[in-house]
Copies of this chain bind each other. A is one copy, B any other.
Amino acid sequence: MESLPSARKFKDELYQQYARIGKCLSSDKRLEILSLLSQGPKSVENLAQQSEMSVANVSRHLQILLDARLVKFNKQGTYVIYTLGDPEVSNFLLSLWRLCESQLADISRMKEDFLQHFDDVQTLSLDEVMDKLEAGTIILLDVRPTGDFVAGHMPGAISIPIDEIDEYIQSLPRDIDVAAYCRGPFCIYSTEVVKKLQNEGFTVYRLEEGYWNGMWSLKCPL
């Protein structure tokens, strides 16, 4: 069909556009950034700390994500705060994680192996914690980074980012149980805190569920 505009050219260009999004998802580091951002807005520096990358490198990855409009930013003083571009992106990430878990058996295996190291940590379910919280027989610690806490948290929880736990240990009451939560079963912030408080003699539990993506679940990819 020589009179028609080239269908092949059109197709190629179209799929090249689609692949702009795809390329963003092809790097483990960018996936980690997206995962972190799905837990709340973050500055470049903050992302660099949590992903253990250099600021320069994070910045470059963010440019790539920005080009595909998977993230957006606004400036707050000298900080550039990045956010997921759109609720659509958040939905998409959910279905990506779901797909990964369902297709890649390696992932489930890795996660199981990892969790075996923490068999000795006592856990409470969300319901149990809520009951105890109402009854006033427990203190609930949110040990995620401050930004995540601000973006959304359990009513009644106290924000004690894991970096700052040492400073707070003295002021925690010892005559009442303590529970800690973070993002999910595979986020070990709360596990670390539980072990540390156990050594200090507290009665302390880990909350099974995590707060992630604006909801309580066991499904946080990390």
Complexed CA–CA distance, A100 and B19 (Å): 9
B28 touches A195 (CB 8 A): no
Whether A28 pairs with B19 at a CB distance below 8 angstroms is yes
Contacting residue for A17 out of B4, B26, B88, B106, CB 8 A: B106
Contact B102 A21 (CB under 8 A): no
Assess whether B18 is in contact with A28, with CB atoms less than 8 Å apart: yes
* Band of interface residues on A: 35 or more
- C-alpha gap A210/B210 in the complex (Å): 43
Contact between B102 and A222, CB atoms less than 8 A apart:
no
* Chain B, residue nearest A52 (CB): B8
Given known A-B contacts A31-B22, A68-B103, A222 and B11 have beta carbons under 8 A apart: yes
Establish whether residues B88 and A103, one from each chain, have CB atoms under 8 Å apart when the complex forms. yes
Complex Cα spacing A32 to B10, Å: 12
- List of B residues within 8 angstroms of A31 by Cβ: 15, 18-19, 22
Residues of B within 8 A of A68 (CB): 103-104
Binds B, one of A40-48, A135-143, A185-193: A185-193
Q: Given A4-B117, A25-B19, A28-B12 in contact, is the A103-B195 Cβ separation under 8 Å?
A: no
- Bound together, the chains give a CA A69 to CA B106 distance in angstroms of 12
Q: Which residue of the partner chain B has the closest CB to A116?
A: B5
Q: Which of B24, B32, B95, B103 contacts A15 (CB 8 A)?
A: B32
Q: Given A5-B117, A17-B106, A88 and B99 touching (CB < 8 A)?
A: yes
